[in-house]
A and B are shown apart, each in its own frame.
Chain A
């Protein structure tokens, strides 16, 4: 046994030695990234050496350097927020030589194929992924001037929110605040509450967000537990080389209800304000970005008021040899009224007087640290540790005793190119979740999950992905489960401008502590524990094609079939007034999703204009196969149209969001239900580094309640001012 251990140790040392020494016979790529028209440098532009695990970013003067590149012929991809990404083919690197490049990037209102990390746990172009994804880019985030993450995501194709619950192609329905069938990642790190599995959509200010990626369908092979129906990865901005003070402020007023019968207060007093400040700078190898924000609202309903505070910090340090350390901390505090349901359809903005004392507090700290160690251009290790502390307290008229839920995670990941054409990603993830309150006692559970994936570049235009993950879930002093999550994917680009993709992936989600153990009586209902809940699992089948009609117009179509087993749903026993989470459903969601992005300059009315249109349609058939009826809280059709028109420094935008009527609900099936039809419009004007924005959300005063007895906001007038100093 001792001999075996010594051999393994020597093999690792020898392997590391070879990997490091391989770097001695290398070349360098340098260059400058600039705006194609103005020739101004583009600091922060991302440079990716395709087929390797190497990447860097441009400095304040637009220059970049990539050292220790083994000799060979490479493809270089350069991308930047607000610019069309560029691929430079046939970059020939020779030993001890330097390749110099000048890279002009063209400005665009729509980023067609941004760089994503969610598809393969390493950077790649969207059109090279084998899975269906949506990306909300920084350009779109800035254009929409959102007040929270929900507003960032709600116009993305295939996404629909029911309350605070995100549905990706109908994945989640509504789970009453316990359990989430979608995994939320912050820079690739899970950030769900350890006891409820819920997300805090206010955990960080929109000002900090660089990009949001959405993986549609199961993704447990690489991302582990909870990636049952999709994954959302929020990527935060990195510290930039220039010292920058950025601010974003917005204020808004809620209009009076459309129907005068619904008036309940002086509408002039209903408003919100949000202010965020951020400072980032680099000091040599050390970079920092700190942000603070506050978001106050009276709400548009009784008990709709809230006060939210954010404090975030991101720090990095670049050591010699490309080693990079990153640390991130996000703290948020929320004090809000707790609107459970309306008083009645003729008083939708009011609650029953007996509920007026209901309030809730959320206090969350998310911390992660990462260390990226590139041993060579063919082998790198990424280590990360994370900590999420969530303290949620709901106060139904009287004080409640909640204790913080603690989630701790560790992950070691290696990216290895054993020989050209193969990128192997392997590692192990460990997650430890603990929660305790008087309502469910003290409970802890952990996952340990080794994973392995190989992306094989069969030919220059064909990529084949295979992966497998094994997870052991162990509830301390309780049940244990063994879960396997395989994955297969194919991306084929037969000719320029066309890419086909196909994937089969699996996902799982173990029941949360709350779903298993919560015992509570609320509003005449008793929530009953069910410690024997099994993990729910899914298989996602997806085929798609992405076609460029012209350079500025693409169409993406995908067909999907998501199969679910042991779906955990709240079972309402309305005879005894009990709710219990049970494995009750074998379900299927099949459908088609089509998106198109189009931009073109046009000369109209004597003006140069840049219109852009992004449209999506998702048509689904979802079914509870046990009862042969639609799944609850899921529309069958989703559509979005986002139009923008740039005229010089001015920009006009209109968004239309549609969701068909939800056919099945659980609590009040006799309540009126209608489709969702929202129109938001905005106009912005940029003067130097300052942008002023005026907007109206829900322009036509549409009254929609995706969750029974909870009306969405009425027409809201917004004013935003943001900029950099």
Chain B
């Protein structure tokens, strides 16, 4: 009988202890990023929304590693104010991201990502702390860069099947040749991630202006968003040792920009 009573009393004691030592699980986020957004130009007609995104770590491996405003920001005014709840911590970067109605939003649709004033190879970071739970920032968004009336067309020829660990293969046009990770975002003019067949005929909408580097990029499963591997480059037809360059006029379509991609560059990666 003593044994039975002991079990009963021990159980009641445990229940009481558990009750006293109880936290309440998920709690509200204590910090806040307040952003003033100043727009320039007009958003394209196929705009689904413009979102505020914050990256705890840059570069992120995927867009779901970003804090994302739950709903789109207004974009019909010149200036708007928005805010995002955040946990305390360090944040490597913040930006705006444009989404189109046809779900093809991609890295070229990052509208505004300020850089660190002391190191232009790094995005501007900020901290949310108990001492400073509210951080205020301003973002300048040029909506004109989303209008892409010109186009580059061509065919990509691969020298074999796509590697099994392929996350995405893309054709991208850059203002300048990217050398560092962040250049892939800063110099990017247009990108198309829909390459899934060999050969692939592409049509890359782009804004008028100079394009000094066009290449085919490959991204492995779980690689960081800026960890592109170049598998083929558009070469100058008159000097095949150099990247080809284009200068597109407004509304112009340049055809025949063919690229030969070589998988041996990424073998085993």
Contacts and interface: CB of A to CB of B under 8 A. Distances in A.
Contacts of B87: 672
Contacts of A9: none
A668 interface: yes
Interface in B4-19: 4-5, 7-8, 11, 15, 18-19
Contacts of A647: none
Interface string A623-637: 000010000000000
Interface stretch (B26-34, B111-119, B121-129, B144-152): B26-34
A371 to B, nearest CB: 49
A524 B105 contact: yes
A575 B85 contact: no
Contacts of A231: none
B219 interface: yes
A137 B260 CA distance: 67
Contact of B24 (A572, A670, A703): A703
Interface in A502-555: 521, 524-526
A451 to B, nearest CB: 36
A176 B1 CA distance: 52
Given A575-B167, A711-B26, A604 B5 contact: yes
Interface stretch (A161-169, A232-240, A344-352): A344-352
Given A575-B106, A577-B105, A700-B19, A344 B70 contact: yes
Given A346-B85, A654-B15, A262 B71 contact: no
B85 A602 contact: no
B198 interface: no
Interface in A259-313: 259, 261-262
B34 to A, nearest CB: 14
A603 interface: yes
A526 B193 CA distance: 14
Given A672-B87, A700-B24, A701-B24, A573 B71 contact: no
Name, among A258, A261, A348, A575, the residue most crowded by chain B CB atoms within 10 Å (CB to CB): A575
Interface residues of A, number: 52
A669 B65 contact: yes
B64 A667 contact: yes
A602 B1 contact: yes
A574 B64 contact: yes
A702 B18 contact: no
B26 A674 contact: yes
Nearest to A709: B70
A701 B29 CA distance: 18
Given A344-B70, A352-B70, A576-B194, A602 B26 contact: no
Contact of B71 (A354, A611, A701): A354
A19 B23 CA distance: 66
A380 B5 CA distance: 51
Contacts of A343: 70-71
Contacts, number: 115
Given A524-B48, A575-B167, A669-B65, A345 B24 contact: no
A576 to B, nearest CB: 5
Interface range on chain B (Cβ under 8 Å from partner): 35 or more
B25 interface: yes
A705 interface: yes
A675 B4 CA distance: 32
A672 B27 CA distance: 9
A319 interface: no
Nearest to B69: A344
B266 interface: no
A155 B237 CA distance: 70
A156 interface: no
Most B Cβ at <10 Å: residue of A347, A675, A677, A711: A677
Contact of B28 (A261, A525, A643, A702): A261
A207 interface: no
B248 interface: no
Contacts of B24: 258-259, 700-703
Contact of A352 (B15, B67, B71): B71
Interface in A644-695: 654, 656, 666-670, 672, 674-675, 677, 679
B187 interface: no
A262 B7 CA distance: 40
B193 to A, nearest CB: 5
A189 interface: no
Contact of B26 (A603, A611, A705): A705
Contact of A525 (B56, B65, B103): B103
Interface string B97-113: 00100011110000000
Contact of A703 (B25, B62, B65): B25
* Top 3 A-B residue pairs of the complex, sorted by shortest distance between their CB atoms: A703-B25, A574-B62, A703-B26
Given A345-B85, A674-B25, 9 more contacts: A259-B27, A352-B70, A521-B103, A524-B103, A577-B104, A604-B5, A670-B56, A672-B26, A703-B26
7 contacts: A343-B71, A345-B26, A354-B71, A575-B62, A575-B167, A577-B105, A701-B24
